[in-house]
Every structure is written in structure tokens, then in C-alpha cells.
Structure 1
Amino acid sequence: MPVEHAGSRSELALPATGYRMLLPDQWAQVPLRHGTDEAVDSILEDAYTRIPKDAPPDKVGPYKRELARRFRKAVTQAQETNALDLYLPVKPVADGSFNLGASILVSETLLPDRGRAATDPTELAVQLLSRDGVEQADLSSGEIDGALAVRREHVAASGPGVELASRRVEYIMAVPGDPDRWFVAAFSTVGAGDPRDDLSEALVEWFDAVMTTFRWRRG
């Protein structure tokens, strides 16, 4: 997993008040607690401007409605998790289509009561990750911008309400200055229809690279 050390010792001692990470401009951020509707409307309007001007009118309307439906559904599902931010690829790919088959969900979680007696921060992070019942996963640990980070990778099977299996990578990080809070950045992709295909592999590597750019905003 990425291991990063950034900032002076005095900077690292300051409490975290936010975060930033570098993403390509094909990806858009949707805040999930405040300003969600405004962000969604703005992103969709921007996407509509990329529809070719010579596109048949009878195709444009259905295309817009389907794009809006899929996009709003993804946002609504993310809001139901009480997350902080959702990142989606919203600009067209080479063939002009939009690919919503990947996402990054940012959230935070609190230390479970049963973990307070533990002294190993890595053990606490694993406890937090294990609350969702995932049993077969690859785990590794390190530091990102001066904070402990545990990385988990696994394949989530399809099921009720979930059409396709997905490849998932989560980073859970201790929030500097607040030992009870943990930050989670969760990436999910269906690849080209198989969570173990070459596209999924490439996207997982891409997300790991994104996490090397992660930095805390400190007060």
C-alpha cells in the first residue's frame, strides 16, 4: 500500500480538519451532507454540454434522462450510508459514453466500544473493517501523511439490489488529533463486467496511486 510521510513535525501535530486528494478532471466530487442537489445539477448540466450538437433530438432526451437517473441513484445510495463525499467519473470516455462503473466513497467512522481496550492501532483498524462481515480480504498497513492506514481489498459478490460483483479497495486511516475518529476512502469498480479482469486490475492500481496524493488539511 502507499506509504507517505509529508509535512514538518509541527504540522503533523495539528488536528485534521479535512482532506484532499488529486483526481483526474474526469471525476467529480459530490458532497453528501450539504449542497448535494446543487452539485448534482451542476455536474449533469456540464455533462449535457458534451452531447454532440448533431445528435438526433429523439436520442438526446432519453440519453439525458438515463444519465440523470443513474447518476442520482448512485448519489442517493451513497447518502444512505451517511458518507461525506462521493466521487464519480462523469465525463465521457473515448467512445463518447459515460462510465459510472466505478466510484470513490469517503466517510468517517467511530471507534467501537469493544475496541477501546486494545492498544494496537492496527488492530483497531482491522476491527473497524471487520464490522461488515467481510471474511476473505487482503490486508496491509502503513502510513499516509503521518497517519496509520490499513488497506483492505476484496471482491463483493452480486446479490439483492446489486446487479454485478465488484472489486473493492478501502483505506481506513486514524484521524490526526482525534483518536476516536477514523477516515475511510472506499473505491469500487465492476471493471468490464468482471471484478477480476484486466480493467479492474488497472483501476485498483490507479486508486492506489490516487491515495499516494492524499493529504490531511490541518487546523
Structure 2
Amino acid sequence: MAEVTSPPTGYRLLLPSDWVQIPLRQGKTEEIVHRIATDAFRRAPGDIPRDKLTPLRLEMERRLRAAIADARKAKALEIYLPMRLSGEMNLGASIVVSEARLPSHSAPNASAVAVSDPAEVAARLISRSNGTELDLSSGEIDGALAVRQERVMPADPGRGAEMASRRVDYLVSVPGDPSRWFVAAFSTIGAGDPRDDLADALVEWFDALMATFRWSWA
């Protein structure tokens, strides 16, 4: 890979057509919800009676508002959700994209050095794990250092998590700015058990999706 002199301005992921991207840095929540719901129900099969579509639409909008509010509280950049009109909207999985800055450490000459060693990144992740299981690995994605973290998060009704979930995070160092990290956090409850076959299949799908990740420059 050629030496990078300036950080990328964006990224690309090859998402299936039934997943929708919700940008969180621009626009108002109601405008976002209305646009997504309108686009989704425009594709609804013509044989579905209107009196059945209306409750589906209201439930979709309610869940969208809740998902957007939670992602904004976490200072996320985008959220991706699966949308299906053939049945109940599936919010058993999500992808939240954010940016992180890992604190620098001091070099022997007293200058600040960005954390870029996978072992250091892993140590910082473990220190924040709060005792949950962790599966850590490192490698490269589109020529940039990447650390993958997988864990099972227990249910926490007090924080709105009624069921345990399987979570996979990818932290990718931003080229040209090693103190910045792109973070893609995937979460699923599977079919009700974060370790069941559906959860395994969805985790494999997310790993394959991240293989399509590419940086972009304006």
C-alpha cells in the first residue's frame, strides 16, 4: 500500500439491499424516520391491506426513533439496521459506526506517541471488558491495522438490554492519523440465545461484510 499523507474522508461497505444506513450527524430524527418508513413501505407488496400496513409502519417508526436515540447517546456516526416488510421488522441485529481516539502514551523522550501496537490496543480493550468474555485478534483491513473483539454481553434491563447479545467490534486505525480509530460494532441476539446457530451465522456474515470495507478519499 502506498504511503498515506492525508486521512480518508469516508468508507464503503457492500451492504445487502434490506439493510438501511441511518446517518446521525445530519438531519432531524423525524425527517430520517419519515424518509426511511416512506421508502420501505413504498416497496410493500400490493396485496397487504392498508389496515395492516399502518400498525407495521407505526411500530417501525417507534423502533427507529429508539434505535437512533440510543446511537446518538453513544455519539455514533451511523447506524445500520435490517428492514423487512414481509414480516415483523427484524431489529435483532444492528451495526453502529463510531470513531474513537485512544490516548497516547509517553515515549522515552517525553513526546506523545499514538497507540498503534495491537498488543497495547488489546490490553486497553481487556481493561474495559468489565469481566465479560473476550476473543481478540488483529490483522489488517484495506491496508490498515485492525483489531477484532468478540464477546457476549449479559442482559441488563436497567440499561434497556432485555436479552443477552453477541457483540463483535472491529477497530481499524485511520490511515494518516494513527490516534484515530474507525469502530464498527455489530450486535445480535440471535434467535434468543447469543450463542445459537443464528447468532453464529450472523457473526460470520458480519466478518464477511467487514472484508468488503474500503477507505475513500474525496
Q: Normalising by the residue count of structure 1, what TM-score does the alignment of the two structures yield?
A: 0.85
Partner of 2:61: 68
- Does residue 122 (structure 1) correspond to residue 118 (structure 2)? The answer is yes
The answer to whether the 8 A contact 2:21-2:81 is kept is yes
The answer to whether the 8 A contact 2:114-2:178 is kept is no
- Alignment RMSD, CA only? 2.2
- Does residue 109 (structure 1) correspond to residue 105 (structure 2)? The answer is no
For residues 106 and 9 of structure 1, the distance between their equivalents in structure 2, rounded to whole angstroms, comes to 26
The answer to whether the 8 A contact 2:71-2:79 is kept is yes
Q: Which structure ranks higher in relative contact order (CA pairs < 8 Å, sequence separation ≥ 6)?
A: 1
User: CA 1:193 to 1:215, structure 2 compared with 1: closer, same or farther past 3 Å?
Assistant: same
State the 1:200 CA deviation. Answer: 0.4
The answer to whether the 8 A contact 1:108-1:183 is kept is yes
The answer to whether the 8 A contact 2:173-2:181 is kept is yes
Identity of aligned residues (%): 53
Q: Which runs of 4+ in 1 moved over 4 A?
A: 113-120
Alignment counterpart, residue 154 of structure 1, candidates 147, 151, 154: 151
Partner of 1:77: 70
Residue 9 of structure 2: SS of its match in structure 1? strand
Partner of 1:4: none
Partner of 2:211: 212
- Does residue 88 (structure 1) correspond to residue 62 (structure 2)? The answer is no
Partner of 2:109: none
The answer to whether the 8 A contact 1:30-1:40 is kept is no
Count, aligned residues: 209
Q: Could you list the per-position Cα deviations for residues 36-76 of structure 1 after superposition, in whole angstroms to 9, with x for gaps in the alignment?
A: 53333211112222444443444332222111111211111
For residues 35 and 91 of structure 1, the distance between their equivalents in structure 2, rounded to whole angstroms, comes to 24
Partner of 2:13: 21
User: Which runs of no fewer than 5 residues in structure 1 stay unpaired?
Assistant: 1-7
For residues 132 and 43 of structure 1, the distance between their equivalents in structure 2, rounded to whole angstroms, comes to 35
User: Which runs of no fewer than 5 residues in structure 2 stay unpaired?
Assistant: 107-111
Partner of 2:39: 46
For residues 94 and 115 of structure 2, the distance between their equivalents in structure 1, rounded to whole angstroms, comes to 33
For residues 149 and 28 of structure 2, the distance between their equivalents in structure 1, rounded to whole angstroms, comes to 28
The answer to whether the 8 A contact 2:115-2:178 is kept is no
The answer to whether the 8 A contact 1:139-1:150 is kept is yes
The answer to whether the 8 A contact 1:21-1:211 is kept is yes
Residue 161 of structure 2: SS of its match in structure 1? coil
Q: Could you list the per-position Cα deviations for residues 147-193 of structure 1 after superposition, in whole angstroms to 9, with x for gaps in the alignment?
A: 11000001111112211111100000111111221110110011111
Partner of 1:3: none
For residues 53 and 171 of structure 2, the distance between their equivalents in structure 1, rounded to whole angstroms, comes to 41
Moved more, 199-208 or 97-106: 97-106
